[in-house]
Amino acid sequence: MDNLMQIAMQNVNYGSIMPSLVLCIFGMALLLINVFLPRGKTTPASWIALIGLVVTAVFAARGWGDPQFGFAGHVALDKFASFSNIIFLFSAGLTILMSDEYLQREGYPIGEYYPLILFATAGAMWMASGTDMMTIFLGLEVLSISLYILAGMFRGQLRSNEAGLKYFLLGAFSTGFLVYGIALIYGVSGTTNVADIGMYLKSHPAMLGNPMTIAGMLLISVGFLFKIGAAPFHMWAPDVYQGAPTPITAFMSAGPKAAALVAFVRILILGLDGLQGDWTSLLWVLAVLTMTVGNIIAINQTNIKRMLAYSSISHAGYALVGLVAANQIGVSGILFYMLAYTFMNLGAFAVLVLAGKKGEENLTLEGFAGFGFKRPFLGVAMSIFLISLMGIPTTAGFAGKFYIFAGAIKAGYIWLAVLGVLNSAVSLYYYLRVMVYMYFKEPAEDYGWVTLHAGAVISIIISVVGVFYLGLIPGKVMEMARMALFF
Amino acid sequence: MAFPYLTLLIALPLIGTAFCLLFRRQPDECRWFALGSTLAVLVISCWMFSLDPDSNGWLLREDFPWIPSLGARFTLAMDGISLLMVALTGFLQVIAVAISWHQKKHPALFYALLLLLESGILGVFLVTDLLLFYLFWEMMLIPMLFLIGIWGHGERIYAAVKFFLFTLGGSLLMLLAIIGLYLLHGQQSGDYTFALDALRQTDCGAWEAWLYAGFMIGFLVKVPVVPLHTWLPDAHTVAPAAGSLDLAGLLLKTGVFGILRFAFPLFPATAAASLPLIAGLALVGLFWTAWCAYLQTDIKRLIAYSSVSHLGVVMLGLAANDEIALQGAILLMVCHGLTTGAMFAMVSMLRRRTGTRNLAELGGMWNEAPVFSCFFLFFAVASLGLPGLANFSGEILVFVGAFRTMPVFAALAVVGVVFAAAYILRLVQGVLWGERPPGRSWPDLTWREGITLGLLAIGTLWLGLYPAPFLEPLQQPVRLLLTATGGLP
Amino acid sequence: MLDSYLPIIVLIGIAVGFAICTTIFSRLIGQKKPTEVKLAPYECGMPPVGSARERMSMKFYIIAMLFIVFDIEAVFLYPWAVMFKKLGLFGFVEMGVFIAILLVGYIYVWKKGALEWE
């Protein structure tokens, strides 16, 4: 029985889960602090949450120079996880910055909001550093359950209720697929460790053609594609994105999506490497479908929040292109792209947060008529984010797309790259239309005074800096994304 | 290390942009910022005429690391062709600021965008790194979009969006070609780079035609060549005066310049094979747009079509693959920039006085505003190619050169010039002569407008009478280019 | 291989036997005074006839959820108690962390008033 003790002691390495541990401690402390704060007072909570993120960032960054492994190969804080963690932290931080005034305005100053974001981020971190299917699944659940609550946070709003319930029901359903897939793969290989699965399949090539392996791969893909919001599992996205509180929408479209992508990358490339032929052909089709569906439906939207929701689907499609390429440029392109997308999308949402009035009925194209001249700072910022989302050079969006499409071309998927570029061309139209309304149309109504709240303004400024930094001198971050790869 | 003059050239307008945005509540200061930075660019580019080229034809070269992981570098280089283009940009931008001196609507933003546009154009003329080139190429689009969309007249939104989608759609294909070429070269040599000189060594094999097509579509939309030209008349019709000036005088030239700097040297064999096709398109465009110009009643649209027609002659000069023709084509670009720019400037002056651009509602200008009319006549005949004025010197070189290599095309093109006489004379007749519509009085030029047009007129005369100083820096680059495409005997 | 299932079969046998025995013996030796309520099907104390769409108070759900959370705690504590000596200090600290997390939850629900019925 002594070896039980040994197992327990040897494999524990708190260093490997330090970032998420810190986040959880902060989250729990915040929960307690909240119940002792007077009702409706959430500002101190937001600051504590931000401090928590900064402290976490220090620990997450430590994994870059000094990779940590622990818990019997269940958790690895390697460069890959470290880079992903930074993406999550940025998306959580920008979200928290823009949230406080928003919650006050909408009349839901709920203290649990911030701890839930921290828990969701911790879940995302487990997904990124999980090297075992079970760890990844655990992370996914922590992330998802926090998001279900956050999406339905505005209890009195029908849309928010719908968002929460829809996301919960469909999310739970898709999780079932994922678990079933994990079970099947476990049945084939006898392990849930991602690297061991890869090794097993390498040494037993006969099992590659086994229907159980294929079915397991497909079911796992369904689970992740749902979380990513890829077509044809994207149906939940527009309603949830539109109904959820705006900062949460921003968060969902960046951080958790990146988490699902990086975990998917690890499982596919490390664990199911042998099936690459199968999953690339599957993802090829789905990537094209996702880009096209997202873009084409976005064209028709008049609500900007919903338009960004559909555009978020199409951006998931671009990211999948990198996964299809499955080479160095492509996969590091995913990391880079998700970071870039975090800045440009959260920035755009921060503008929406500031521009909206209570109930956010005015976030339509008509409501944005003449916005650029009435609110010069927000107008310029929004234009920068839209230009970046279009993928026009000097911005992060271009550098990201360049990287991903270069990966696809290098892997020989010329047509995929062509379709991706054509899709970018389609997307120009609806992003451009927002700019057309902002600058070229006469203002339809008299705008109320928009107070430029410090938090949201800071998040806009950070995003603008991020967009230009990644767009003009992307070299350093690109190099880091390449070093982050585990293969 | 030498002082980075080229970077300075690109940075000057950007600094102006920043100042204009910072002082957006003081439009008077913004005007001077704009004029100051454009003048500085002009002065520096004039000084650059005194430089001597090295053996590869470069007058200046600058090279800084940019994105090391991709092998992209911040490489700027200037040869004789880019020198002319940069000087033209500097000159026309000063004029653009001058003719929009009394911009009322959002003046600070207007100047800021105008300067941002200049920076992008200068960048395109100076880079030799393909990724950086693409960056500047797209950087020109956004300011132009806003210039048309915010300050345009009439159907400005439609025109702005059309302009944007056309040119960006074309350049996306170019982007794919750039990536393809980059990877192809990297796989062959192991050296992943965007440097023009290195990429010229690439053996593209079966891909060459596709890559060349990708580049050419991006450039031909910009030139524009029939049938990709439909965005241009719309954009010109609605654009503000300075926007039209930049569009016709500079943006179109970036297309031709791109072909000379990138498409031809990168794929010389395919380029040589495609020359008859280009010549054919150029000729069709020449006639078609001349005919369109003749039918217009809106004088601005008429000049816009004439612009496409002139670019047809330029493209013919490119297609002729002959030393004299190519020099002529480049010279014609400069001349066209001056004369068409002047025409657009005068149309906007006319519009400010009369409130209309409709030929039917104009007339009798000669008696009302003699100074204006003199200038109008001067630039009009310069535009149709009267000997001694700017366009003639360019056109005659193109035709002389083209007769040596493709006589049939050249002969047909000369006929096209007669068309030009037809629509220009119709324009002159409609505006200057005839009866003045009753109840209107049209004041003559102000001193500021007079100086602006006077400067353009001096340039036009100089280019027409003594183009040698402008042809001299072209000798070596043109020879180098033709060596690649096999155009030298 | 099948031998290992023997205890289960025995257990099933005993369970079934017990049920059969009690039914038979209560029929044989028990008193019989049937009333309407006694003859009605057993529904855990709910009236068997009436609308099935009854609204339950939210409080029941909250209590049920809290019950599960703190009940599961015991399930984890039990095996740890069995292995307490082997796991030593490390196990003790780990379990302390576990209880602390639950304690945070407990304070939270307490302060939120989830434990109060009214």
Q: Which of A13, A31, A110 to mutate to test the interface with C (most CBs of C within 10 A)?
A: A31
Which residue of C88, C91, C108 is in closest CB contact with A31?
A: C108
Burial level of A218, CB count in 10 A (0-12/13-18/19+)?
A: middle
Whether residues B106 and A373 touch (CB distance < 8 A) is answered with: yes
Spatial CA neighbour of B263 closest among B326, B198, B178, B327 = B178
Residue B52: which region, alpha, beta or left (left: phi > 0; alpha: psi -120 to 50)? beta
Residue B385: which region, alpha, beta or left (left: phi > 0; alpha: psi -120 to 50)? left
> Is pLDDT above 90 for A442?
no
Residue B449 vs residues A357, B33, B287, B337, B374: alpha-carbon distances, Å: 48, 20, 33, 18, 13
Question: Do A22 and A59 form a contact (C-beta atoms < 8 A)?
Answer: yes
Give how far C32 is from chain A: nearest CA, Å.
Answer: 51
Q: B146 lies in a domain?
A: no
3-state secondary structure string across C80-99: HHHCHHHHHHHHHHHHHHHH
Q: How many domains does chain B have?
A: 1
Whether residues A439 and B66 touch (CB distance < 8 A) is answered with: no
Residue B2 vs residues A244, A433, B12, B60: alpha-carbon distances, Å: 57, 45, 18, 10
For residue B58, the Cα-to-chain-centroid distance in whole angstroms is: 21
Question: Do A26 and A122 form a contact (C-beta atoms < 8 A)?
Answer: no
Give how far B182 is from chain A: nearest CA, Å.
Answer: 9
Sign of CA dihedral A300, A389, A315, A308: negative
Spatial CA neighbour of B372 closest among B394, B397, B347, B355 = B347
**DSSP H or E run through B60:** strand B60-67
The pLDDT of residue A70: 82
Q: B304 lies in a domain?
A: yes
More confident of the two residues A346 and C27: A346
Q: Which of B172, B210, B211, B217 to mutate to test the interface with A (most CBs of A within 10 A)?
A: B172
Spatial CA neighbour of B21 closest among A17, A178, A383, A399 = A383
The pLDDT of residue A6: 55
Residue A2 vs residues A73, B303, C81, C92: alpha-carbon distances, Å: 21, 93, 16, 16
Spatial CA neighbour of A98 closest among A85, A120, A113, A79 = A113
Whether residues B169 and A402 touch (CB distance < 8 A) is answered with: no
The one-character DSSP state at A359 is: T
Closest chain C residue to the Cα of A39, Cα to Cα: C112
Return all residues near A462 (Cβ < 8 A) that are at least 6 apart.
A94, A97, A343
The pLDDT of residue A184: 94
Domain coordinates of chain C in residue numbers? 2-112
The pLDDT of residue A444: 67
Q: B90 lies in a domain?
A: no
pTM: 0.89
A 10 A CB-CB count for A217 gives 24
Q: Which of C82, C84, C86 to mutate to test the interface with A (most CBs of A within 10 A)?
A: C86
Q: Does the beta carbon of A32 lie under 8 angstroms from any beta carbon of chain C?
A: yes
For residue B59, the Cα-to-chain-centroid distance in whole angstroms is: 21
pLDDT tens digit at each of 489 positions of chain B: 578 888 888 999 999 888 888 888 888 888 888 889 999 999 998 888 888 878 777 888 888 888 887 888 888 988 888 999 999 999 999 988 888 888 788 888 888 899 999 999 999 999 989 989 999 998 888 899 998 888 888 888 888 888 888 888 888 888 888 888 888 888 888 888 888 888 888 887 888 888 999 999 989 988 888 888 888 888 888 888 888 888 888 889 999 999 988 988 888 888 888 888 999 999 998 888 888 888 888 888 888 888 888 888 999 998 888 888 889 999 999 999 999 989 988 888 888 887 778 887 777 778 878 888 889 899 998 888 888 888 888 888 999 988 888 888 888 888 888 888 888 888 888 888 877 776 666 777 888 888 889 999 999 999 888 888 888 888 888 888 888 777 666
Write the pLDDT tens digit of every residue in A344-384: 999 999 999 988 888 777 788 888 888 888 888 888 999 99
Kindly give the residue spans of alpha helices, DSSP state H, lying in A152-275.
158-189, 194-203, 211-228, 236-243, 246-266
Mean local confidence (pLDDT), C62-77? 85
Q: How many helices (H) and strands (E) does chain C have?
A: 4, 0
Whether residues A8 and C87 touch (CB distance < 8 A) is answered with: yes
**DSSP H or E run through A45:** helix A43-65
Question: Do B147 and B117 form a contact (C-beta atoms < 8 A)?
Answer: yes
> Is pLDDT above 90 for A388?
yes
Sign of CA dihedral B122, B123, B129, B135: negative
Q: How many helices (H) and strands (E) does chain A have?
A: 20, 2
DSSP string computed for B262-297: IIHHHSHHHHHHHHHHHHHHHHHHHHHHHHHHHH-S
Mean local confidence (pLDDT), A44-52? 91
What range defines the domain where residue B306 resides?
A: 277-489
Q: Does the beta carbon of A4 lie under 8 angstroms from any beta carbon of chain C?
A: yes
Cα separation, C62 vs C105, in Å, equals: 13
Give how far B138 is from chain A: nearest CA, Å.
Answer: 6
Return all residues near A299 (Cβ < 8 A) that are at least 6 apart.
A426, A429, A430
Whether residues A8 and C91 touch (CB distance < 8 A) is answered with: yes
Question: Do A133 and A127 form a contact (C-beta atoms < 8 A)?
Answer: no
Cα separation, B22 vs A257, in Å, equals: 38
Q: What is the mean pLDDT of chain A?
A: 89
The one-character DSSP state at C34 is: -
Q: B402 lies in a domain?
A: yes
Give how far C58 is from chain A: nearest CA, Å.
Answer: 15
Angle at alpha carbon of residue B416, lines to B411 and B420, rounded to 5°: 145
Give how far A403 is from chain B: nearest CA, Å.
Answer: 9
Q: Which of B70, B113, B238 to mutate to test the interface with A (most CBs of A within 10 A)?
A: B70
The structural architecture, per CATH, of the domain C2-112 is: Up-down Bundle (1.20)
Cα separation, A374 vs B183, in Å, equals: 46
Burial level of A27, CB count in 10 A (0-12/13-18/19+)?
A: buried
The one-character DSSP state at B66 is: E
A405 contacts in chain B (CB < 8 Å): 176, 179
Confidence at A1, pLDDT banded by 50, 70, 90: very low
Whether residues A425 and B149 touch (CB distance < 8 A) is answered with: no
